[in-house]
Structure 1
Amino acid sequence: MAFEVVEICAGAGGQALGLERAGFAHALAVELDKYPVQTLRENRSQWKVAHGDVADPDVWRPRDYAGVDLFAGGVPCPPFSIAGKQLGANDERDLFAWAVEQVVEMKPRAVLLENVRGLSMPRFAAYRQAVLDRLADSGYVGDWKLLQASDYGVPQLRPRFVLVALRETDAPFFQWPAPVAAEDRRTVGQTLLKLMYAGKWRRAAAWAKAVDKVSPIAPTIVGGSKKHGGADLGPTRAKQAWRAMHVDAMGLANAAPDRDWGDFRVRPPKLTVEMVSRLQGWDPEWEWNFAGGKTAQYRQVGNAFPPPLAQAVGESIRKALDHESEESGARTLVQRSVHDDVYRTLREADGFVTLDQLAERLASKYSVAELHERVTGLERDFEIIRRRKRSGEAVMLGHFKAFIGQEDHHRHAAFAEAAARSRIS
């Protein structure tokens, strides 16, 4: 019998397909954008798909799914993206902390949340620590790992920062998935050759060979958002990388090159949506169709969690829930893992502490000046309460600024404004 999963921010089904192939059945998938919702419903009519803001209680009620086997999702990336402002908890699109609160309420056996590489940066060390501590306080052992999709058979440079957490009884059986063998990995040329030849282009084989000579792995595909333009293959640097691989990244083609397209070095071809989906890990045998026009389809594909990577992580979680693996999880999921010791020390402090006291508790690991800088940095995502004492300034950790469901949070006004402009993404 398959384990059940509730998936939020499900998109067009990249993670959903991977989890399905790993042995999970969807009890519910929640998605905001109408086109991905159509995609999910048209391809898996047996799934229950809720359409709307995942944080709206009228769309779904987490408590109705208490005790589900797996709670999964790919919450919005812009709050942490290196390409953005990295506002973190101050970005109205941030749903990571909110998702963790649903874990506390639903108490699933396992958790899988993924995001962009930016969340792994030092800027968000305290944010990650807050997430781990909240989970640990609720009986979960969890940690983060930066996984490269190319290590799992996806011919694309696509790093994903993945959080996995399991109940204390299941966590020792979890192991991060091992990369696939080199001989089982496909290059860009191998992946796209048949599609490039679909119009009988005489130079398709030469193109595939030339592409792989430049790089067997494609640049990261950027799905973009409603706030930015149409369908193309990313920012300037990515376009330059594509051009070096003999691909015109300024848009997408409706069809493969015809027989007489000519020399790709002079006139590089554009990719089709189907080609991009293959680079994202979709297998043609799955017969997965995307709703909407070309731009809508491309955004769905470009923003997806690659199915093979989702399958690999999903299989590791399923094996842990089945207690199939040896109890070796201590090497992979670390109880109370520490990503930010300054945040942790302030969180465990009883009231105000001076920077000198903070330095002492951290065994003088940091100078007072360094601690001042670290505490100031914490204010981007947390309230820091300050008080002057004779012995110097004292600080105390206040509330987490992230949205976790507060009725008075600034997310509501920003979300309403974005919805009015049809610019939510």
Structure 2
Amino acid sequence: MSDEGFGVVEVCAGAGGQSLGLHKAGFTHRLAVEIDETAADTLRTNLEVPVVVGDVADPELWNPRDYAGVDLFAGGVPCPPFSAAGKQLGTSDERDLFAWAIEQVAVLRPRAVMLENVRGLSAPRFAAYRQRVLDRLLELGYVGEWKLLHAADFGVPQLRPRFVLVAMPADDMRYFHWPEPNPGPRVTVGDALHDLMAADGWKYADAWRHAANDVGPTLVGGSKKHGGADLGPTRAKAGWAKLHVDGRGIADMAPNRKSLSFRTTPPRLTIEMAARIQGWAAGDNYRFSGRKTSQYRQIGNAFPPPVAEAVGQSIRSAMTRDSLPRTAEPGVVEVHDPVYRALAASEGALSLAELVDAHNQGSEAAVQQRLAAIGRDFELHRIDDGGVERYLLGEFKGFTGQSDHWRHDVVTRFRNRVS
């Protein structure tokens, strides 16, 4: 730990949802990196965080070696590569920075790592990708764990599942415990927004509060390629409609004394209301830079501050030994993909029968499915060995910092569309 307290370097920081939560957990930014100038301005204005703006993987933008030994390396690397809405392109998406982020651990040598993404990264499609991440961290001296956390369990009035990776050296990881859900009932949309809905004298605000008696669907911020200032695709809008919210756009102001009943004309959320749904509290006094669509995108793409705070507190407790040690020693990496594991460990090509044995489920079809998924993110060579087809794992297709990777050309050519 530095003399200035617990330091954090955060990449893909956005407008500061994760930043705010980590600040509340006792961390101070040494640096934040963000590609969008408007989001960076939001972050600077509200938290006075030192921010550099540009492609986080550009070596001319910042030098990770300058921050070696920082307490925490954190980030919310782009979600579309792993999102079902983003076609789950994985390593074929120029926005995939997860593997690159893991490689920075070798340079930064932080005491802890915290990276978050969408639920899609937990799908079978990315089992080999996850396995490679954990195995690489172990090579670097870190024990990594994945956990699917639901924002609604931490006082956020929306579902918003987030897949979080935490990694620490085994001596620290022994004291790390994932945060427990808040006790008591979940905060509903009605309870979270009642004061804002009633602020301009809307006479139906109390009745609306009781009608909007559940958590909301996940806010969808979209990207510079897709998405605007509405609450998401058709299914999300239908979910909001059940809570008597019109999800087709964002309002400039709250309902007033002349506004009609929510049963005939459901209100739209304002920017302030959307931020509340994402976990920003009234006392945060947070202001978002830019125009309405940009503001909503910043909010919709954020990591909810209460979830970041909860995970940050668990990491800090492990560092300070304020938590009890685990009953089981960490150090054994969880197996997410036994087929990938077998291929990665083998010095030669393996037959389908050998991979079925490694998979330990006795199904050639299951192994073939795993091979198809592996082949999307890794070079997979098929070799004819006297009539027996064998498989040999080749290079990882993802971006880990290679100077000649195709991602550089895409980012250069379409700079204003990459988010």
Q: Distance in 1 between matches of 2:179 and 2:328?
A: 15
User: Offset at 1:334?
Assistant: 5.8
**SS, match of residue 30 in structure 2:** strand
- For 2:152, the aligned partner's letter is S
| 1:194 paired residue number | 195
Cα pair distance change 1:342/1:209, threshold 3 Å? same
Do the aligned residues in 1 keep the contact of 2:221 with 2:227 (CA within 8 Å)?
no
Q: Distance in 2 between matches of 1:368 and 1:308?
A: 44
- For 1:372, the aligned partner's letter is Q
User: Offset at 1:86?
Assistant: 0.4
**SS, match of residue 225 in structure 1:** coil
Q: Distance in 2 between matches of 1:146 and 1:304?
A: 16
| 2:271 paired residue number | 273
**SS, match of residue 144 in structure 1:** strand
Do the aligned residues in 2 keep the contact of 1:69 with 1:110 (CA within 8 Å)?
yes
| 2:417 paired residue number | 423
- For 2:70, the aligned partner's letter is V
| 2:375 paired residue number | 379
| 1:32 paired residue number | 35
Q: Distance in 1 between matches of 2:328 and 2:27?
A: 25
Matching of residues 270-349 of structure 1 within 5 Å: 270-328=268-326, 330=328, 335-349=332-346
Q: Which deviations, in whole Å up to 9, do the C-alpha atoms of 1:184-236 show, x marking residues without a partner? A: x4221111111001110111111111111xxx201110111122253000000
Q: Distance in 1 between matches of 2:369 and 2:301?
A: 35
| 1:144 paired residue number | 146
Residue 233 of structure 2 is aligned with which of 218, 232, 235? 235
Whether 2:362 is the aligned partner of 1:366: answer yes
- For 1:240, the aligned partner's letter is A
User: Offset at 1:99?
Assistant: 0.3
- For 1:319, the aligned partner's letter is S
Cα pair distance change 1:144/1:200, threshold 3 Å? same
TM norm structure 1: 0.95
Mean Cα displacement is larger for which, 233-242 or 222-231? 222-231
Cα pair distance change 1:120/1:52, threshold 3 Å? same
Matching of residues 70-89 of structure 1 within 5 Å: 70-89=72-91
User: Offset at 1:241?
Assistant: 1.2
User: Offset at 1:255?
Assistant: 0.8
**SS, match of residue 79 in structure 1:** helix
**Which segments of 5 or more consecutive residues in structure 1 lack a partner in the other structure?**
none
| 1:394 paired residue number | 390
Do the aligned residues in 2 keep the contact of 1:142 with 1:335 (CA within 8 Å)?
no
Mean Cα displacement is larger for which, 385-394 or 87-96? 385-394
User: Offset at 1:361?
Assistant: 4.6
Residue 23 of structure 1 is aligned with which of 26, 30, 38? 26
Q: Distance in 1 between matches of 2:236 and 2:82?
A: 19
- For 1:378, the aligned partner's letter is I
Q: Distance in 2 between matches of 1:113 and 1:69?
A: 14
Do the aligned residues in 2 keep the contact of 1:26 with 1:48 (CA within 8 Å)?
yes
Q: Which consecutive segments of 4 or more residues in structure 1 shift more than 4 A?
A: none
Q: Which deviations, in whole Å up to 9, do the C-alpha atoms of 1:109-156 show, x marking residues without a partner? A: 100000000000011001000000000111111110100000011011
| 1:94 paired residue number | 96
Do the aligned residues in 2 keep the contact of 1:175 with 1:329 (CA within 8 Å)?
no
Do the aligned residues in 1 keep the contact of 2:94 with 2:407 (CA within 8 Å)?
yes
| 2:51 paired residue number | 49
Cα pair distance change 1:370/1:227, threshold 3 Å? closer
Whether 2:347 is the aligned partner of 1:350: answer yes
Do the aligned residues in 1 keep the contact of 2:126 with 2:373 (CA within 8 Å)?
no
Q: Which deviations, in whole Å up to 9, do the C-alpha atoms of 1:44-79 show, x marking residues without a partner? A: 23x211110000011111111111110000000000
Cα pair distance change 1:286/1:370, threshold 3 Å? closer
Residue 13 of structure 1 is aligned with which of 11, 16, 40? 16
Do the aligned residues in 2 keep the contact of 1:110 with 1:164 (CA within 8 Å)?
yes
Considering only aligned residues, what root-mean-square deviation do their CA atoms show, in Å? Answer: 1.5
Do the aligned residues in 2 keep the contact of 1:71 with 1:112 (CA within 8 Å)?
yes
**SS, match of residue 246 in structure 2:** coil
Cα pair distance change 1:369/1:270, threshold 3 Å? closer
Q: Distance in 2 between matches of 1:118 and 1:302?
A: 17
Q: Which deviations, in whole Å up to 9, do the C-alpha atoms of 1:23-59 show, x marking residues without a partner? A: 11100000000111101111123x2111100000111
| 2:6 paired residue number | 3
Do the aligned residues in 1 keep the contact of 2:172 with 2:318 (CA within 8 Å)?
yes
Do the aligned residues in 1 keep the contact of 2:221 with 2:228 (CA within 8 Å)?
no
Cα pair distance change 1:352/1:287, threshold 3 Å? same
Whether 2:373 is the aligned partner of 1:405: answer no
Cα pair distance change 1:197/1:225, threshold 3 Å? same
Cα pair distance change 1:159/1:382, threshold 3 Å? same
Mean Cα displacement is larger for which, 409-418 or 128-137? 409-418
Whether 2:128 is the aligned partner of 1:126: answer yes
Do the aligned residues in 2 keep the contact of 1:174 with 1:329 (CA within 8 Å)?
no
Cα pair distance change 1:373/1:245, threshold 3 Å? closer
Do the aligned residues in 1 keep the contact of 2:188 with 2:212 (CA within 8 Å)?
no
**SS, match of residue 82 in structure 1:** coil
Cα pair distance change 1:366/1:334, threshold 3 Å? farther
- For 2:199, the aligned partner's letter is A
User: Offset at 1:335?
Assistant: 2.3
Q: Distance in 1 between matches of 2:120 and 2:91?
A: 14
Cα pair distance change 1:203/1:346, threshold 3 Å? same
Q: Distance in 2 between matches of 1:294 and 1:223?
A: 12
**SS, match of residue 67 in structure 1:** coil
**SS, match of residue 316 in structure 1:** helix
**SS, match of residue 42 in structure 2:** helix
| 2:164 paired residue number | 162
- For 1:211, the aligned partner's letter is A
- For 1:342, the aligned partner's letter is V
Do the aligned residues in 1 keep the contact of 2:244 with 2:266 (CA within 8 Å)?
yes
TM norm structure 2: 0.96
**Which segments of 5 or more consecutive residues in structure 2 lack a partner in the other structure?**
none
**SS, match of residue 28 in structure 1:** strand
**SS, match of residue 37 in structure 1:** helix
Cα pair distance change 1:242/1:174, threshold 3 Å? same
